[in-house]
């Protein structure tokens, strides 16, 4: 997508830019992408429609910038939990379970968008090559952040290949569980859902490290 609009650099302009993105994000979550117009966004942001087009070429570009913006908060290596636990010996099941439980809860907090937004994002990824490209790029960035988290903790993987396996499957497993917790209105026991996911992660952790025979309650 050819960029024809400008990215603001001055404080006041940046504030207006972010105000437009926040307004659009709110509406996309409430009404959906297809049911929201740029006029709706300008009204919600309390700015002139011309201001929207000064910063964004169209509604799709606003959507793409939103995807980029909410992925920037995926910055777990600075989280207090990782700092406090990076020097622990992860040969005890209680320690490992606590690690994974905290990780899942942080991931759940990250999923603060509505089911409408999530479902349309998945559909748009299939229908629009520009959105598909930015989703692919942002997913890679999130996976890299997950790897940073566990590298901070120096987990003892058997090999580089085992490390890749752990990151790959743990990322998708936790993502699926988060979607169930956030979007499944029929889910009755969130704690049990998290506990089952933690147990699966612990099993994967044991298989990918040299701690299989050391993990004890």
Q: Is the pTM of this model over 0.95?
A: no
Radius of gyration, alpha carbons of the chain = 20
- Encoding tokens for residue 167? 């990151």
CATH architecture of 73-208: Orthogonal Bundle (1.10)
- DSSP of 69-94: HHHTT--GGGSHHHHHHTT----BHH
- DSSP of 155-180: --BSSHHHHHHHHHHHHHHHHHHHHH
Task: Report, as an integer, the average pLDDT of 174-185.
Answer: 90
The Cα 213–Cα 210 span in angstroms is 8
What class is the 11-59 domain?
Answer: mainly alpha
Specify the domain boundaries for CATH 1.10.357.10 within the chain. 73-208
Higher pLDDT, 22 or 7: 22
Model confidence pLDDT, tens digit, residues 67-95: 988 777 766 544 555 666 666 666 567 77
Task: For residue 9, give the H/E element and its range.
Answer: none
Specify the domain boundaries for CATH 1.10.10.60 within the chain. 11-59
The Cα 118–Cα 178 span in angstroms is 12
């Amino acid at each position: 997508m050819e960029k024809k609009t400008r990215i603001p650099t001055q404080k006041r302009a940046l504030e207006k830019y972010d105000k437009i993105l926040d307004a659009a994000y709110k509406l996309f979550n409430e009404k959906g992408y297809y049911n929201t117009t740029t006029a709706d966004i300008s009204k919600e942001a309390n700015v002139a429609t011309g201001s929207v087009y000064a910063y964004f070429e169209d509604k799709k570009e606003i959507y793409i910038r939103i995807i980029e913006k909410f992925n920037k908060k995926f910055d777990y290596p600075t989280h207090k939990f990782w700092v406090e636990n990076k020097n622990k010996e992860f040969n005890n099941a209680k320690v490992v379970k606590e690690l994974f439980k905290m990780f899942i809860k942080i991931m759940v907090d990250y999923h603060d968008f509505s089911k409408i937004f999530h479902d349309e994002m998945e559909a748009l990824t299939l229908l629009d090559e520009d959105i598909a490209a930015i989703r692919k790029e942002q997913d890679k960035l999130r996976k890299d952040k997950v790897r940073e988290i566990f590298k901070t903790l120096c987990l003892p993987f058997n090999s580089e290949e085992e490390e890749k396996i752990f990151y790959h499957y743990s990322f998708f497993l936790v993502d699926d569980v988060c979607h169930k917790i956030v979007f499944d209105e029929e889910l009755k026991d969130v704690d049990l859902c998290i506990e089952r996911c933690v147990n699966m992660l612990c099993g994967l952790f044991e298989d990918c490290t040299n701690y299989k025979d050391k993990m004890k309650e």
